[in-house]
Chains A and B, each alone.
Chain A
Amino acid sequence: ETGVTQTPRHLVMGMTNKKSLKCEQHLGHNAMYWYKQSAKKPLELMFVYSLEERVENNSVPSRFSPECPNSSHLFLHLHTLQPEDSALYLCASSQAYRDTQYFGPGTRLTVL
């Protein structure tokens, strides 16, 4: 596979479930990002990982928990979500923290 891949592509979960989103980049990049895309709203940056550094948007609720075990993989762990968390979650990567970002296809999340 090439580029940035995300699994699953679609996820439906209840508010009490625990699930994880996975992102993998095959570009040899050193920075990875999670974005939330809600209908008719600008993309919201949630988390950034650059090598050993994590940059976090302070407005992200604790029910979202990122994990970056290495520079190729990024996870978003979900717990006790709310219906308003339903959105498209996009992963991106870049060569370095301030370089051009390349996006995956996204995970469409629906919280019931």
Chain B
Amino acid sequence: AQSVTQPDIHITVSEGASLELRCNYSYGATPYLFWYVQSPGQGLQLLLKYFSGDTLVQGIKGFEAEFKRSQSSFNLRKPSVHWSDAAEYFCAVGPRSNDYKLSFGAGTTVTVRA
């Protein structure tokens, strides 16, 4: 069964600084990979996804993520955060099989200080 680990529960970053959120997965083959963001009181919004091809994926709001097969990681990055990036971020993994079930990490809360 696949699983997702987001090691950082909470990250505080200054506005304008860079941000990196970690995601590690456990799965026997290359899965589908996603990052979602959830603002307070809102549902999840898709930031980006990786299915195949270029391992560096560009998403919305200036985010990017890099798939590293050797490290089973799919870390999310943004070079310069804005106050509006304060939210909770979820990494998700889905298998490339008929037994499809999207598994989510527990989330990382990002606080942006002025």
Task: Compute how far the CA of A108 lies from the CA of B41 in the bound complex, rounded to whole angstroms.
Answer: 8
Is A66 an interface residue, CB under 8 A from the partner?
no
Q: In the complex, which residues of chain A have a beta carbon less than 8 angstroms from the beta carbon of B34?
A: 100
Interface size on A, residues (CB 8 A): 19
Interface residues of chain A: helix, strand, loop or mixed (majority): loop
Is A90 an interface residue, CB under 8 A from the partner?
yes
Q: Choose one: A6, A40, A97; the contact of B100 (CB below 8 Å).
A: A97
Query: Which residues in window 88-112 of A have CB below 8 A to B?
Result: 90, 92, 97-98, 100-106, 108
What 1/0 flags go to B33-68 for Cβ under 8 Å of A?
A: 010100001111110010000000000000000000
Q: How large is the interface on B (under 10, 10 to 19, 20 to 34, 35 or more residues)?
A: 20 to 34
Task: Compute how far the CA of A41 lies from the CA of B101 in the bound complex, rounded to whole angstroms.
Answer: 17
Query: Which residues in window 59-100 of A have CB below 8 A to B?
Result: 90, 92, 97-98, 100
At the interface with chain A, which of B19-27, B70-78, B103-111? B103-111
Chain A residue at minimal CB-CB distance from B32: A98
Query: Which residues in window 29-52 of A have CB below 8 A to B?
Result: 40-43, 45
3 closest Cβ pairs, A-B complex: A103-B43, A103-B44, A43-B104
